[in-house]
């Protein structure tokens, strides 16, 4: 067993591109790993090893040796896949098999990637949990909504999986599963063929092993540079505790502060700043928009299949129906005002450091945890990266969230890459 | 024959809601009209009268007497319709029958509307024309891309049709066909289930007979107020000639100036202002974004079915592939800067008045005309309304484009409604 499944996307693509490794070896290793762990982990809603090999045969036949040649990837089950069931995590779509691929899926395929399977999602990417368990402790949540994608990458099943974020659906599961997660700047990628929830918030994201893997995917999907450019000068970082700091566990708080101290000792400037009003109005604006747009995205399901919806999503829809159009527009406007103000923040800082989640993954599978530390950044349309850093007092992953300037995702990735390197030597001793 | 097909959406919905008219009468009149004119006009890609009646029977059975009860609507053929062919105007999808409705379609259905049929579109809503002819002169273009929707409403086939705009695909066909057209503020409505072209530009729009119809549709799709609120004070309007004024025909220029003079005589303040840099950089930014995002949205079609694509769309894709990521981000940034600057413009003015198109619909069916007067407003994400006003020297429709502040669509509609009323007495005598 060669364990190619354990390599990062960039490392394994490089080995394939140089001819050192045959894609068939990688696919075999990934499938063996999925077959070993899936019964316990339940990362996949749909997984069929034969179809993965069939895709590989087809890609080989086409001679398509693009950047992701032969790489198996996980696709969140709200993204349409031609000929492959796409359930949206909902009983309504239990047997729905689309005929077309979502644009993000077809772009990966065009680059030579193989759909390893459809990864588990909460119902319509909202809160009602899917079956996935936390890869580090099966009775803890993996987070949501992109739960299967985060768990599969964490458990070394696949080197890349796609997710989406409307509140905290990429960064939170990345944190709870201990993998690198990235939510792009809003509008960076087409969401055509992805089940929409809230058009002013929904954004694509990726789960990978290493920060440098992100550039490979961004290059494939959006033509961004394929390599991380060298940084000029010292990184200027700012700790942002947010109005919700007291909702973070002591260990999460300590980790962030210890990380900042460590970075300061390694040529990274650290300040502490506030962003946004102190009363949590931005968090409330995100909640307002999500409910208002979400209830309209799901209006047909609510009207026709209410009996197949969870109580959670019905409550959200009904909350959205109660919200006035004026309150909704006010929420959008507040977001716009602060999106603009963020530009000046990023004149002084390259990156913000803030919690990804309140702490380690909570026990229990009935809830996917709280996106309280993610809502504002999604509202502000800025790129976010979760960097796994250490393990907390319960032996579950902890990490930090890094925030960049809108549409300066490459600058954020450069900073995150350097921070990742500096933190390789970091040791965390919870108090 | 009762000619209910000739009534505006608001008028006919009112008659149905009050029980004065049975929906079956309206449907019969609309179908009779379609059958009379469709052979010449070719507004529909897919039209099956039996299915319209079947939908009506089903809506009646459900007792769904919502706002659009029994109203037949046209759906642009890039919007997915469950069980009804959706070709995207492309040979690739000639036989594609989706299983789900786009969110905008399912919302109309939930409100009791019936899908009258799928309206003709250019290939993937770009330039390669569909079959539709101009309702006022069959050898002239109806404009594109939402050509069938504009023509069907103009020819009194249906009181409402949906379209989308990425450059000028709602306002231009509305102008050439002589109907009221509305492109919403970007992000107002979910585009889930609509074939995406450029995520930072694509926006939903409607074709109707009267400005007041827009509120009915906006209420149904986004919960905006169902009625036009009374205006307080005089409307402050500004004529914006744009850097492309010289590209407008003499008759279009004269119409705009005569309209402004007429409005000034009717309690509407008129100023003249410039918006945006004088070198057309905003137009160029829109072109850059459209090509860059469009080539990625269609990457799978280009890779796998290039022989089924038109030369026009292949040229766009190849232009997009040549554009650098940096140039793309610069274009997005320039758009953002001017979106912000537009806010102060709308502190001084309620509405901008500007050409919808260079003039009357050009002769010939090989081109759909030039979106030169639409690109900037789509880039700036602001709402636009085309108001048909008069007929030009060739006997084809002419009108004006009204522009509102971002996410203040209701304020624009109020102003447009008053302008529509004032222009009822306007007479145009081309020089």
Over residues A309-367, the pLDDT tens digits come to 999 999 999 999 999 999 999 999 999 999 999 999 999 999 999 999 999 999 999 99
Supply the ipTM of this predicted assembly: 0.97
Residues A242 and A175 in one domain: no
A192 and B296 within 8 Å at the Cβ level: the answer is no
**Residue B185 gets which letter from DSSP?**
P
- Spell out which residues of chain A touch residue B221, defining contact as CB-CB under 8 Å: 296
Of B184, B200, B222, the residue at which a domain comes to its end is B222
Asked if residue A353 lies in contact with residue A178, where contact means CB atoms within 8 angstroms, the answer is no
Mean residue pLDDT across chain A: 97
From the DSSP assignment, how many helices (H) and strands (E) are in chain B? 14, 11
* Other Cβ atoms closer than 10 A to B62: 11
A190 and B196 within 8 Å at the Cβ level: the answer is yes
Q: A133: distance to nearest CA of chain B, Å?
A: 30
Of B181, B197, B222, the residue at which a domain comes to its end is B222
Asked if residue B201 lies in contact with residue B286, where contact means CB atoms within 8 angstroms, the answer is yes
- Positive or negative: CA dihedral A27, A30, A36, A39: negative
Chain-centre distance for alpha carbon B347: 26
Residues B115 and B203 in one domain: yes
Q: Active-site residue A169, yes or no?
A: yes
In a domain, B160, yes or no: yes
d(CA A404, CA A409): 7
Q: A318: distance to nearest CA of chain B, Å?
A: 13
Tell me what pLDDT residue A64 has: 82
Residues A177 and A253 in one domain: no
The CA-CA-CA angle for residues B340, A186, A233, to 5°, reads: 85
Reported as a single tens digit per residue, the pLDDT across A71-118 is 999 999 999 999 999 999 999 999 999 999 999 999 999 999 999 999
In a domain, A303, yes or no: no
Residues A63 and A101 in one domain: yes
Residues A241 and A199 in one domain: no
Q: Which of A13, A28, A145, A356 is catalytic?
A: A145
B300 and A224 within 8 Å at the Cβ level: the answer is no
CA separation, residue A240 to residues A95, A371, A417, A426 (Å): 44, 16, 20, 20
**Torsions phi, psi of B284, nearest 5?**
-65, -40
Tell me what pLDDT residue B229 has: 81
Q: B165: distance to nearest CA of chain A, Å?
A: 15
Contacts A–B by Cβ distance under 8 A: 102
Residues A9 and A81 in one domain: yes
- Positive or negative: CA dihedral A325, A327, A332, A336: positive
Beta bridge partners of A272: A239
Reported as a single tens digit per residue, the pLDDT across A125-158 is 999 999 999 999 999 999 999 999 999 999 999 9
Tell me what pLDDT residue B65 has: 86
In a domain, B82, yes or no: yes
The SS3 of residue B170 is coil
Of B222, B247, B272, the residue at which a domain comes to its end is B222
Tell me what pLDDT residue B283 has: 97
Beta bridge partners of B165: B203
Residue in B with minimal Cα distance to A78: B192
The SS3 of residue A265 is coil
* Other Cβ atoms closer than 10 A to B364: 12
pTM listed for this prediction: 0.97
B223 and A191 within 8 Å at the Cβ level: the answer is no
B300 and A190 within 8 Å at the Cβ level: the answer is no
Q: Which of A8, A13, A90, A169 is catalytic?
A: A169
Task: Please give the helix or strand (H or E) that residue B400 lies within, else none.
Answer: strand B397-403
Residue in A with minimal Cα distance to B302: A110
Of the candidates A217, A83, A296, A276, the one whose C-alpha atom is nearest the C-alpha of residue B188 is A296
A225 and B195 within 8 Å at the Cβ level: the answer is no
Alpha helix ranges (H) inside B230-324:
250-264, 281-297, 299-304, 311-322
Per cent of chain A over pLDDT 90 is: 96
Residues A69 and A207 in one domain: yes
The CA-CA-CA angle for residues A82, B78, B25, to 5°, reads: 120
Q: Active-site residue B154, yes or no?
A: no
End-to-end, the C-alpha distance of chain A in Å comes to: 40
In a domain, A292, yes or no: no
Asked if residue B37 lies in contact with residue B155, where contact means CB atoms within 8 angstroms, the answer is yes
A199 and B189 within 8 Å at the Cβ level: the answer is yes
End-to-end, the C-alpha distance of chain B in Å comes to: 40
Residues B354 and B380 in one domain: yes
With a CB cutoff of 8 Å and minimum separation 6, the contacts of B384 are: B165, B170, B171, B182, B183, B374, B377, B378, B401, B402, B403, B404
Residue in A with minimal Cα distance to B62: A304
Q: Give pLDDT tens digits along chain B (431 positions).
A: 589 999 999 999 999 999 999 999 999 999 999 999 999 999 999 999 999 999 999 999 998 889 999 999 999 999 999 999 999 999 999 999 999 999 999 999 999 999 999 999 999 999 999 999 999 999 999 999 999 999 999 999 999 999 999 999 999 999 999 999 999 999 999 999 999 999 999 999 999 999 999 999 999 999 999 988 877 789 999 999 999 999 999 999 999 999 999 999 999 999 999 999 999 999 999 999 999 999 999 999 999 999 999 999 999 999 999 999 999 999 999 999 999 999 999 999 999 999 999 999 999 999 999 999 999 999 999 999 999 999 999 999 999 999 999 999 999 999 999 999 999 999 999 98
Of B110, B193, B325, the CB nearest to A299: B110
Query: Would you call B159 exposed, middle or buried from its count of C-beta atoms within 10 A (0-12, 13-18, 19+)?
Result: buried
Q: A42: distance to nearest CA of chain B, Å?
A: 27
A192 and B196 within 8 Å at the Cβ level: the answer is yes
What would the mean pLDDT of A209-223 be, rounded to a whole number?
A: 97
A222 and B300 within 8 Å at the Cβ level: the answer is no
B223 and A109 within 8 Å at the Cβ level: the answer is no
Residues B335 and B193 in one domain: no
Beta bridge partners of A114: A72
d(CA A95, CA A85): 6
- Spell out which residues of chain A touch residue B324, defining contact as CB-CB under 8 Å: 223
- Residue of B193, B199, B341 to mutate, interface with A, max A Cβ within 10 Å: B199
A187 and B196 within 8 Å at the Cβ level: the answer is no
**Torsions phi, psi of A41, nearest 5?**
-80, -40
Q: A221: distance to nearest CA of chain B, Å?
A: 7
Q: Which of A10, A42, A76, A241 is catalytic?
A: A76
Q: Active-site residue A145, yes or no?
A: yes
d(CA A232, CA B264): 58
Asked if residue B356 lies in contact with residue B249, where contact means CB atoms within 8 angstroms, the answer is no
In a domain, B301, yes or no: no
In a domain, B285, yes or no: no
Residues B376 and B243 in one domain: yes
Q: Is the pLDDT of residue A63 over 90?
A: no
Q: A385: distance to nearest CA of chain B, Å?
A: 20
Of A300, A324, A328, the CB nearest to B106: A300
Of B107, B300, B407, the CB nearest to A106: B300
Please report, for the domain that includes residue B339, its CATH number: 3.90.1300.10
DSSP A228-289: PPPP-S--EEEEE--TTGGGS-HHHHHHHHHHHHHHHTTT-EEEEE--S-TT-HHHHHHHHH
Instruction: Give all strands of the β-sheet with B180-183 in edge-to-edge order.
Output: B44-47, B114-119, B72-76, B160-165, B203-208, B180-183, B384-391, B397-403, B351-354, B236-240, B269-273
d(CA B382, CA B275): 13
Tell me what pLDDT residue B197 has: 97
In a domain, A291, yes or no: no
**Torsions phi, psi of A288, nearest 5?**
-60, -50
What would the mean pLDDT of A368-382 be, rounded to a whole number?
A: 97
Q: Which of B8, B28, B42, B76 is catalytic?
A: B76
Of B100, B110, B340, the CB nearest to A340: B340
Residues B179 and B240 in one domain: no
Domain containing A374 equals: 236-280+328-425
Beta bridge partners of A79: A194
Residues A218 and A247 in one domain: no
**Residue A128 gets which letter from DSSP?**
S
Q: Work out how many domains chain A is built from and give that number.
A: 2
| Structure-derived torsion over alpha carbons of residues B85, B86, B87, B88, reported in degrees to the nearest 10 | 170
In a domain, B309, yes or no: no
């Amino acid at each position: 067993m060669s364990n190619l499944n354990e390599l990062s996307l960039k490392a394994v693509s490089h080995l394939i591109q140089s001819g050192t490794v045959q894609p068939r070896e990688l696919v075999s290793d990934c499938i063996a790993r999925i077959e070993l762990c899936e019964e316990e982990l339940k990362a996949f809603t749909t997984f069929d090893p034969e179809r993965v090999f069939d895709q590989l045969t087809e890609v080989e036949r086409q001679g398509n040796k693009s950047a992701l040649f032969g790489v198996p990837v996980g696709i969140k089950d709200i993204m349409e896949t031609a000929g492959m069931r796409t359930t949206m995590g909902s009983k309504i779509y239990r047997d729905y098999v689309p005929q077309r691929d979502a644009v993000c899926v077809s772009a990966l395929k065009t680059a030579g990637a193989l759909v390893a399977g459809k990864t588990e999602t909460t119902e319509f990417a909202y809160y009602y949990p899917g079956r996935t368990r936390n890869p580090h402790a099966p009775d803890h949540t993996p987070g949501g909504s992109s739960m299967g994608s985060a768990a599969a990458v964490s458990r070394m099943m696949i080197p890349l999986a796609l997710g989406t974020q409307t509140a905290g659906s990429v960064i939170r599961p990345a944190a709870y599963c201990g993998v690198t997660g990235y939510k792009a700047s809003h509008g960076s990628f087409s969401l055509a063929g992805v089940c929409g929830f809230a058009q002013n918030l929904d954004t694509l994201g990726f789960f990978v092993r290493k920060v440098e893997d992100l550039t490979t995917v961004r290059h494939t999907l959006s033509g961004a540079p394929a390599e991380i450019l060298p940084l000029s000068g010292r990184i200027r970082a700012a700790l942002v505790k947010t109005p919700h700091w007291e909702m973070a566990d002591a260990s999460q708080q300590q980790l962030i502060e210890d990380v900042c101290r460590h970075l300061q000792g390694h040529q990274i400037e650290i300040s502490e700043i506030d962003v946004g009003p102190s009363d949590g109005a931005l968090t409330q604006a995100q909640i307002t928009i999500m409910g208002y747009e979400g209830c309209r995205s799901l209006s047909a399901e609510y009207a026709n299949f209410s009996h197949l919806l969870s109580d959670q999503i019905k409550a959200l829809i009904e909350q959205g129906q109660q919200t006035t159009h004026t309150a909704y527009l006010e929420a959008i406007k507040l977001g716009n005002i602060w999106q603009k103000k963020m530009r000046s923040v990023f004149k002084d800082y390259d990156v913000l450091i803030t919690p990804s989640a309140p702490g380690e993954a909570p026990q229990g599978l009935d809830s996917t945890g709280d996106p309280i530390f993610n809502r504002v950044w999604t509202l502000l349309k800025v790129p976010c990266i979760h960097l796994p850093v250490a393990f907390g007092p319960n032996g579950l992953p902890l990490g930090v969230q890094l925030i960049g300037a809108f549409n300066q995702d490459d600058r954020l990735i450069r900073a995150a890459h350097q921070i990742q390197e500096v933190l390789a030597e970091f040791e965390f001793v919870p108090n």
